[in-house]
Structure 1
């Protein structure tokens, strides 16, 4: 359950309640990918996202779905899995919100209490920004209306800082940057002692 929640949460920049309310009918397995529909969102903008088979993610999802007991009377996707068995009891918001905390504990990351359910949305936005996706696409993916809000979710990761440094210092204008820097170094400051 934790792995599937993590996969869907990051792939779709999902809020905790969106994952909790996800039903088996909201996910279509088309063989090479999953098409996931989030019909009810905080902003009232339904979203669709796709999960492809990177790292056997589809196999994990299918395995989790196959554990679903046949007698379950509701359609909620996430069910409690304990002692090697999947129950019919749906997972609640608090349990779903602790997924990042559980993962952080497993990875022995510092300050595990800081990893809340909202980390799934933040991680999704940051991962997209790290590979160069523009803010409009990030907004559309996560269902944000405001650019300011979307930008607030993108962490200042080392990957982003490195990319910016490379663009400034090594990018397509590297020769112009070098000329400017050399000029600044070789030009004496008039009226100032160095």
Structure 2
């Protein structure tokens, strides 16, 4: 469950409540990928994202889904959710500081570090404001290194 939550949370830049409210009907397994629909968002604009099979992510999702007890009457994907559980599992310090929102920040930062433009990041996470989107992108050492290399390429010392 934790791995599936992490995969979906980062792949879709999901908020905590979006993960908690995700149902089995919101995810379509098309063989080579998952199409995930987030119908109820904070901005009232539904989002769709795709999870591909990088690192056997689809196998993890399918295994989690196969463990679902047949007697469960509701359609929620995650049958048990507890704040800080993911951080505890990963043995991170200050587990109370890790929320579903940190998944949104991680997703935005990973995209920015990969060189994705701000418009794509906004679209991915469902942000209307460039300022809000930029606020989620951490200034990582990787990003600072890329910038330094770009600045120094033309410099002659």
TM-score by length of 1: 0.73
Aligned residues: 154
Q: Which has the higher contact order (CA 8 A, sep 6+)?
A: 2
Q: Which one of the candidate residues 100, 103, 109 is aligned to 1:126?
A: 109
**1: CA distance, partners of 2:112 / 2:8:** 18
Displacement of 1:112 in angstroms is: 3.9
Displacement of 1:72 in angstroms is: 1.1
> Any conservation in 2 of the 1:37–1:49 contact (CA below 8 Å)?
yes
> 3-state DSSP class of the match of 1:37?
strand
Displacement of 1:71 in angstroms is: 1.2
> Any conservation in 1 of the 2:16–2:99 contact (CA below 8 Å)?
no
Q: Deviations over 1:38-61 (max 9, x none)?
A: 011000110000000011100000
Q: Which moved more, 1:113-122 or 1:39-48?
A: 113-122
The structure that has the greater radius of gyration is 1
> Any conservation in 2 of the 1:80–1:87 contact (CA below 8 Å)?
no
> Any conservation in 1 of the 2:118–2:133 contact (CA below 8 Å)?
yes
CA RMSD of aligned residues (A): 4.1
* Structure 2: tracts of 5 or more residues without a match: none
**2: CA distance, partners of 1:86 / 1:108:** 9
* Structure 1: tracts of 5 or more residues without a match: 89-105, 172-194
**1: CA distance, partners of 2:124 / 2:31:** 22
Displacement of 1:115 in angstroms is: 2.2
**2: CA distance, partners of 1:161 / 1:87:** 26
